[in-house]
Each structure stands twice: as C-alpha cells, then as structure tokens.
Structure 1
C-alpha cells in the first residue's frame, strides 16, 4: 500500500506481488495535521472497499517537506500547513489506521517508483515541479545523505548575477529550471506555464523559444552535475512539468547534446541517451511509497 500526500490531493494505491496496481483512490487533501490524517484515512478506507479485503501490510507514505525517516516525522511541508516543530506523522497515521507506517520524502518515494518502472538499480530521478530536486537510487539503495540533503540539486548556484533563490543563495538552478521559474518567465493565466511556453515555442515565437531553451539548458545542467557525480544507468524526469512528456525529453536531450558538443569526454557519456520521462498516467510517487513497505 502506498500514499502520495500532496498539497491538493492524496493518492493511494494497492500493489499486487508483481507491482501491478490492484486499486487506486484519489481524494482532496485537507491541510494541517488533522486534515492530513483525515485525508489519508478516507483514502485508506476507500482502498479497503475497492480491494474487498483487509489491508494489514505496511503502509508507505510519501510527503513533501523535510522528513526524518527514523523518527517518522515531517516539518517544512508549508503547502500542507505543516511548519515549525516536527510532526510525528508516522505515529499519527499508524494510530488512526491500525497498520505500520513507513514515512518518506515524496521525491525519494517517487525515485523508488521510477526505479521500479525502469527495472534499474542505479537511477537519478529529477523532479521538476514548483522547485527542482533529485532522488538517487545507487546500487539498489535509496541515498538520502547524512543530513537528508542528497539530491538538492536545485540549490546549486550557477549564475552569480541571477535572482535570489528562496534558499537565500543567488542564481540557483531552481531559479532557472523549475515550474516556478517557468511561471515567472512565461505567465500564462489558467494554462500551466510549461504547456503554454512549449506551445508558443512550437509556433516559432522567438521569445518563447529563448525561454524554453534557457529552461531546458538549466535542466540539462542539473542532469550533467548529477550524472558526473554518480554516473547513473538511467535519468528520469518527473514532477508536474514532466506532464509535457516527449516534448520535454526532446528539448532537454537537445540541450544535453549542445552542452556536450565541444567535449568529447561529455559526449562519450551519452547523457541524452539515458534520459526518460515518467509516463503521465503512472503514479510514480504512490508506487514508490508502496515499495517502502518492503
């Protein structure tokens, strides 16, 4: 069983022994500690009804924010109304649902789901959402880092003259290659900025093409840094912007090729050839959360 708890929805699913999805339920997420637990309970109860059987295994939960896996606690999940002190979410959920719970950061959970989808033991998962962050599976194990900061690629500064990032540094990759960066570069009203920008670029709009290429180059730079650090077998793009699908992969692959054009060494690594995008209908974070129980 896995839950992907997000700011707007909680998605839950049950997997069979082979990783196939037996049941899937989506409910709106209510903010705050009580709201999160209540939302999770609604999804869990609906999954029991959908499967027609008791659910007594370990429930894996992915949630945004800073997660202390050993304590089963989360903080700085601001969009969920969780800030300040650590929230012991694992124990709150276990007490409410009556099953053991494994808690993990949502990007790390999605990384496990991406590794299961690609059937690989070495993978970088780059989540391009409001921010920019990566998850790492190395030799079949999730790498969190000594302080939980592994994969925080969005806060690598690349432009000393760039805008100030929310982390306090200037010119971070996140200010160039994220959903929020796209929204700032290409305001689009009710249309998702990534879709609007890529659509305008396809029409030949030179301003849109320049904005798309700058964004794609930023994503490619994040991939290059991560790949030179850990040399993964597979590189997977996910997060809200990845709903673009193949156009995103092609744009980032082209940026990778251009960055490698003057470097035989970089070209030999074929980073563009390792690039994948999570299918839009694959609930990667909820699947990865379910694997936490193993």
Structure 2
C-alpha cells in the first residue's frame, strides 16, 4: 500500500522518473529521502505526439497511485533512447519510438506545469543502478539487450567524456573479420552479445531467441554452442573494455538479457576467468569479481531518471548507438 501525500504548490515533494522504452514506460515516484512511493508500467505510444501523450498519462496515473495530485510533483526526469540534448530536452532519432525530432522537455513540461529534464536511457540507468546499489567511487552499467551500450558513473555523476560517448563499448570492433554491425563496422561487441544480432545469426523462429540458443546449446546443438560462446565472449570483452579504459570498480550488467539470470552471469564470469588464464596482468584485475547482475525487474532506469529530473542540467549532447 502506498502512503497518501498531500502537498500544494509551495510544498511539492515528489520526484518522478520515467524510463521510456519501445513498448512500455516504467515510472516511479520518489520521495525527497529517496524512497520509491509508487511504481507503474504503461504502454508507450508510437510517434512524437503519442510519446508525449504517453508520458503525460503515465505521470498523471503515477501521482494518483501515490495518493497525490500533480501539485505534489517537484520534478520529472525522462530516460529515453536516441540522441538526447540534456540541456534542452530535445530527442533526435529515437527510431524505436517513431521519433525524429521532439522537444520532449518543453512539450511535457507545458502539459504538466513542472520542470522536466531528459537523459539518454542507458546513462539514466547507470545513475540509478549506482544509487540503488549504494556504489561510491566509479562504476559502469553495461546494458545487454537488443543492442549493447554502457554508461559510466563517477562519484554519483554521469561521466560522459568530451563528446558524450564515454563507455559506449557496443560499437568497439574486436574482430575486423566478424559479422557486419548496423553501424557499418565488422565484429563489434554488439554483434557478439546483442540480442538482435544473436537472433539474426540464429535464424530460427521463437519469441525468446537468446534463451532458445542457450537451451539448444545445453542439448548439444553445434550452432547454438557457437552462439552461446559468442554471447559470453562479447559480454566479457565489454567488461574488459570498461575496466581497462576507465578502471571502474564495478560493472553492473542490466538490460533484457539479465532475464537469463545465473546462466548469463556464470557464463560471463567463466569467459573472463578463461581470458585471464594466460596473463598475470589480467588476473591481477580480478575482472570476474567486479561484475554483478542487476536484479530482474529493477527500477534502476526509472529511478535514475528521477535523479536526473532533480539535478541541474549541463549543456551537452548524449549519444547512444
């Protein structure tokens, strides 16, 4: 049961965070002390107008779920895929949402009468994961889903690099003779451990192709065994790249593939361990001890968006392939 919150315009106390995905919005209401007061999921509309409408509807419904009205909301943060200008709240090329160019912050803010800030979804998730796990210092969030992306958080703040691409390991080529990636390169990490790339390589029907691959590998299917090895090899390569480039203390793995649970975590650990056997230097990094899976159903992305909404934005462009 959620507790009722009564607040007028002078006493707003709720921070709302929304993780806007291709099919659903995950939304949380967060108190000033960081407690999650309410959470809900709603479908995401297709196209710019429908995305705005979906966000407004989700915020309104969330306030009601928390026993409050819109006057109780102090800020709204939105995590969304695509090219995001964190200063203006404009979203470009969010192709899975049918968005080409959308002034999301301005349009949602005008409808709700509240400050709205927008962030790339993976970077918002990185911030949320660091906060929920109580991680101080440095960490990376590795998102294994249809694609592969990552965000880095240092001392509670997103570290972007000079052009906003810090941590984006999905399009790091590790095999120039490998499979063609959507970015135009060959052998990118995403072609090894991205769910979309694995499904295309598997070429068999099924609603959960990566799980089907693991099941078939357990049964001895040669093609599945090779693709399972690719999955673990690619994820381990991403972990190595994040640690070697930024020396993060922890790599938290999130995204849709975490539904595989221990099958994924154990496989990545084994790949990291095997890759370090011949190198005393790599063994000294203890990479297999630095990873952990985000629990399935974690609100990290929405929670991170709530933190973004409550923060002061800075002028920069955030990219996500």
Report the TM range for the smaller structure's normalisation: over 0.9
Report what 1:214 is aligned to. Answer: 230
Note if 1:39 corresponds to 2:49. no
In 1: Cα distance, 2:53 partner to 2:228 partner: 40
Alpha-carbon contact 1:125-1:236 (below 8 Å) kept: yes
Alpha-carbon contact 1:120-1:233 (below 8 Å) kept: no
Report what 2:290 is aligned to. Answer: 274
How far 1:186 sits from its partner (Å)?
2.4
Q: List gaps (5 residues or longer) in structure 1.
A: none
Runs (4+) of structure 1 exceeding 6 A deviation are: none
How far 1:253 sits from its partner (Å)?
0.6
> RMSD of the alignment, in Å?
1.4
In 1: Cα distance, 2:303 partner to 2:202 partner: 32
Report what 1:62 is aligned to. Answer: 79
Alpha-carbon contact 2:126-2:304 (below 8 Å) kept: yes
Pick aligned residue for 2:111 from 93, 96, 99: 96
Alpha-carbon contact 1:188-1:196 (below 8 Å) kept: no
Pick aligned residue for 1:81 from 98, 102, 105: 98
Alpha-carbon contact 2:140-2:250 (below 8 Å) kept: yes
Report what 1:28 is aligned to. Answer: 43
The secondary structure found in structure 2 opposite 1:176 is helix
How far 1:259 sits from its partner (Å)?
0.6
Q: Deviations over 1:186-216 (max 9, x none)?
A: 2452331121112222334343222111211
Pick aligned residue for 2:66 from 20, 33, 51: 51
Report what 1:3 is aligned to. Answer: 18
Pick aligned residue for 1:283 from 276, 299, 306: 299
Alpha-carbon contact 2:131-2:156 (below 8 Å) kept: no
In 2: Cα distance, 1:20 partner to 1:2 partner: 12
How far 1:153 sits from its partner (Å)?
0.8
Note if 1:205 corresponds to 2:221. yes
The secondary structure found in structure 1 opposite 2:193 is coil
Q: Name the CA shift for 1:150/1:90 in 2 (closer, same or farther; >3 Å).
A: same
The secondary structure found in structure 1 opposite 2:251 is strand
Q: List gaps (5 residues or longer) in structure 2.
A: 1-15, 312-321
Worse-matched range after superposition: 200-209 or 22-31: 200-209
In 2: Cα distance, 1:209 partner to 1:258 partner: 17
Pick aligned residue for 1:140 from 140, 156, 161: 156
Task: Work out the number of aligned pairs and report it.
Answer: 292
